[in-house]
Structure 1
Amino acid sequence: MSRVTNFNELIQAVDNREEIITIERNITLERPLTLGAGTNLVGEPQENDELPTLIFQDSDGIGLTSNNSIMNLNILAPADRRAIFNSGYTENLGEFLFQNLTLTGQLSFITKAPVLFANIKIDNINILNADARHYVEQPQKYGVNVLQGALTIYNFNPDPDSLIVFQAKDLTIGQRNNPVYGSGVFIAGFGDRGGRVEVEILQTNEVHSTGKLPFGIYDIITGAIFIVNGAYAKTVIQNGETVTYGVNDMVLDAWGSVDNWIVNEPVISYGPSGIGFVNFSIVKSFTINAPIETYGQGARAYNQYDGTLEKGHFSSITTFGDGSIGIQISKEVGDITIDGDISTYGSLGNSLVKGVNMKLPASALSVKNGGIIHSITVAGNIQTFGDHITSYVVDSGGIVRNLNVVGTIIADGKNSNQVSVAIDGESPIIKFD
């Protein structure tokens, strides 16, 4: 064990491969610091109870190798660098613990061949600022690339036997109106058939992010919380508002599978084509106990593109932009319940659909060809307020087996209609005022 108060003492302790290095004072470094196998950094509160800070002037921060932990520290790297990053390349990297940290810069754990295993635990991490837009390792599917996040856990090994086991509790990213750049939480495996990430639990507080993409970009997206293909999450719990701010910034996006997803605070997007919850994979249960609200053009609230949602329970859904559909179903889903209204206020507008910008009407509930809803209950209204809009639409090949609207169906705009069911679409008989 070694106690350090300055740069020279810290470097000496790392070079000596001390098992525990206790940092007692702020230290400024001119280059990255790489921990040897089994080395652990621990900050000790100073006399005023403030934790010490490691300041990296113009470089990445702390590199990891195997069986490392970092606790009770502030780490201040440039926002476009990595505050913490993996540099280990042995087959078994062992276990990593990150606890009680405040970061500027990305927390990045990317594994590549020959790494086959790593176990990562995060507890009480606050990433104040990060810019992850320039990192080149990006998943590609559905006509788009996904930008990395302020927190990036990425198994970039094509070997299907490679595995990262991950859990995170008490994670905060960005602040209201001061988002991180890129995605917020990014968890990915190597596509559908390569290396995997298994998430035991992901529990977040507030997450605020934006890709700062220019309007009109169609092949790049981000997500405040993005479970990418190759990742499987047992439990996701969100205890703070989750907000995106710009073009193509999804709020919640699943290309990977999730067993149980619980959202306890609002989901909000402000930018064009910023979908509230978009699912391409298998989500067994999704429960949101707060509103989904979108404000940008073409920003749908809930979109089932591929895969399935077995059970979905929503509080209320509201969109304000042109082309911003409330719920759009393109694949088979199970039981959907909305405790309040499905409301849209826009008319016809552009929206990003699988890498293509398309004109869409801001319908409240839309079931596309191939979309099947086994049961949907709306405790409030299905309602639209824009012009030239149909509130409830079932296209040719769309199927709704059971529909229960406790309120009514409203189309309040000019030249708007309440219901349209195609001749070869299926829907129960609807009674409304």
Structure 2
Amino acid sequence: MANISVHNAAALNNAIAQAQSGDRIEVHGLISGQPSVVLPEGVALVGADSGATLRFGARGVFLSGDNAVANLRIETAETEVALGIAQEATDLGAISLKNLSTRGQVFLGTGAKVQTGSFDVDTVQVERADVRGRVLRPHAFGVDAQQGGFTVWNLAEDPSVWLEGTFRNISVGSKQAPVRGSGVFIGGHIKAEELTTAEVAIDGGITPSTPDLISGGVFVITGAKVGTVRNLGPVTTFGANDMVLDNWGEVQTWVAEAEAEVSSHGPSGIGFVQFGELDTLEVKAPIVTTGVGARGFNVYDGHLRSASFQSIATTGAGSIGIQISQPVESITVARDVTTAGGTGMSLVKGVQTELRAIGVSVKPGGSVQRLEIGGQISTGGDGVWAFESFGPVSKLRVDGGVRTTGNDADALHTAADTVSEQDLAAISTHTLSGRDHVLVEE
């Protein structure tokens, strides 16, 4: 075991060529001009001072297995991989990444022959990256999903291979410089005990009205199993079809803390999208969307036991506040659910679809055992009602009442036997020119 200090590209290349398992390569200051490097198995690469930086013209650092990288900045072109995994690696061993910043993607994507491995990742900041050109994308529900600036993806061809990991304090982009593509992306057979994020900001750069491509701020992809997802900082999206928080995998608990506002500023963006398996969702921060067809919260598929929110506000045409298409035990909102838009187009499972900006919508096939709104449900669009139920809502409570301010905008639309007369009678309604309650057919 040896500590090897490097101050320039020639010394770095020589150290990597001679390093053996257990060695530690220490980077001093800024080093540039070297080609992409592959760390041998068991070798650590660490910054020796606060300015320790590796600057590459093309790709950056790749890991072979049992590597540690810490206290270092890695710079590449924004379209390149700053930190990745050698595709020929089969046993990743224990990979440790601590206190890193990058310009360029962190792509912890495996080769097809990988068999074992684990990740311990703490405090990684992807300042800039552009992953829009990546050909490899997961596909489900009628759409492809863009990779993330920070991507963990088990691509083993053997379905029995599971990798494990913990991912803490991951930051991708900023509101001033959003990453192009998705933000934090975890997919394939990954068992992650914990995923926590700091600030995440993205702009997928997707052409508006595109039906078959999306991105996500924090995205758990099919195959991944995560114990706890915790958003500690704001998650913001700026482009078309940019989901803010999206679950295609299996998550036990997902919490967005009070400091982590969930906001979307492009058409067909959604605050939280649920397709996979999720036990408990708790969004302590406001969900705010501003684009056409940019909805607040959707349960499209899979299973969700309970969800709670502080508030949900949408402003665009076709931007539904809450839409439920699967059975859910409980949904609670501490404050208001408000929409301001009328009728507009929105992306639904790979199809651009015309929607009304309804406040709360329970679709056929959806149901809620307990739906409680601490504030009001209100809509502002013409011809847009505030609440509709085509599936059963066993217990409905709206403390602040139901309000519509658009022309010909009704308060309540319910199919027969979906909401009890007692619950409906307890809800105060106010409309400008619509009806208080309409009994509708499915």
TM-score grouping bracket, smaller chain normalisation: over 0.9
Q: 1:331 corresponds to which residue?
A: 326
How far apart in 2 are the matches of 1:285 and 1:123? 24
The residue number in structure 1 matching 2:9 is 7
Q: Please name the residue that 2:305 is paired with.
A: 310
Residue 272 of structure 1 aligns to a residue whose secondary structure is: coil
Q: Distance in 1 between matches of 2:165 and 2:106?
A: 13
Query: What's the offset of the Cα at 1:25?
Result: 2.2
Q: CA deviation at 1:29?
A: 2.8
| Aligned with 1:223 (options 198, 216, 226) | 216
Indicate the SS of the match to 1:387. coil
- Residue 177 of structure 2 aligns with which residue? 178
C-alpha distance in structure 1 between counterparts of 2:328 and 2:308, whole Å: 12
Does the residue aligned with 1:12 lie in a helix, a strand or coil? helix
Partners of 1:51 and 1:72 within 8 A in 2:
no
RMSD (CA atoms): 1.2
| Pick aligned residue for 2:384 from 382, 389, 408 | 389
Q: Structure 2: how far apart are the matches of 1:286 and 1:425?
A: 24
Equivalent in the alignment of 2:54:
54
Q: Secondary structure at the match of 1:359?
A: strand
SS at match of 2:270: coil
Q: Choose which of 423, 427, 432 in structure 1 pairs with 2:428.
A: 432
1:14 partner amino acid: I
Aligned-pair identity (%): 36
Q: CA deviation at 1:425?
A: 4.3
Shift of 1:311: 1.3
Are 2:231 and 1:238 equivalent residues in the alignment?
A: yes
Once the two structures are superposed, residues 186-206 of structure 1 have per-residue CA deviations (whole angstroms, 9 ceiling, x without a partner) of 1111xxxxxx11111111111
Taking the TM superposition and a 5 Å limit, the aligned residue runs for 1:5-404 are: 5-18=7-20, 19-45=23-49, 50-57=50-57, 59-189=58-188, 196-264=189-257, 265-395=260-390, 398-404=391-397
Secondary structure of 1:390's match?
A: coil
The whole-number CA distance in structure 2 between the counterparts of 1:2 and 1:413 is: 71
**TM-superposed deviation, 1:4:** 0.9
**Residue aligned with 1:8, SS:** helix
Paired with 1:29 and 1:149, the residues of 2 have a C-alpha distance of: 27
User: 1:406-417 alignment to 2 at 5 Å?
Assistant: 406-417=399-410
How far apart, CA to CA, are the structure 1 residues paired with 2:298 and 2:364? 14
CA contact (8 A) 1:115 1:157 kept: yes
Q: Is the 8 A contact 1:399 1:427 kept in 2?
A: no
Change (3 A) 1:274 1:427: farther
What secondary structure does 2:323 align onto? strand
- Given residue 432 of structure 1, which amino acid in structure 2 is its aligned partner? S
CA distance in 2, matches of 1:424, 1:338: 24
TM-aligned CA deviation for residue 158 of structure 1: 3.1
Are the counterparts in 2 of residues 66 and 88 from structure 1 also a CA contact under 8 Å? no
SS at match of 1:180: coil
* 1:405 counterpart = 2:398: yes
3-state SS of paired residue (2:411): strand
Q: Counterpart of 2:415?
A: 422
| 2:347 alignment partner AA | L
Once the two structures are TM-superposed, the CA of residue 91 in structure 1 deviates from its matched residue by 3.2
Letter paired with 1:149: G
Query: Once the 2 structures are TM-superposed, how far is the Cα of residue 122 of structure 1 from its aligned partner?
Result: 1.2
TM superposition shift of 1:420: 0.5
Per-residue deviation, 1:288: 1.1
Answer whether contact 2:113 2:157 (CA < 8 A) is retained. no
User: Which amino acid counterpart does residue 72 of structure 2 have in structure 1?
Assistant: L
- Rounded to whole Å, the distance in 2 between the matches of 1:333 and 1:123 is 34
Structure 1 CA distance for aligned equivalents of residues 77 and 97 of structure 2: 19
Q: How many residues align?
A: 420
Indicate conservation of the 8 Å contact 2:90/2:111, yes or no. Answer: no
Q: CA deviation at 1:220?
A: 0.3
The Cα of 1:113 is off from its aligned counterpart by 2.5
Q: CA deviation at 1:403?
A: 0.6
SS class of match (2:216)? strand
Structure-1 separation of matches of 2:357 and 2:87: 49
Greater mean deviation of Cα atoms: 231-240 or 164-173: 164-173
Deviation digits for residues 264-295 of structure 1 (CA, Å, limit 9, x no counterpart)? 12100000000000000111111111100000
Deviation at 1:177, TM superposition (A): 3.2
Taking the aligned partners of 1:284 and 1:427, their CA distance within structure 2 comes to: 27
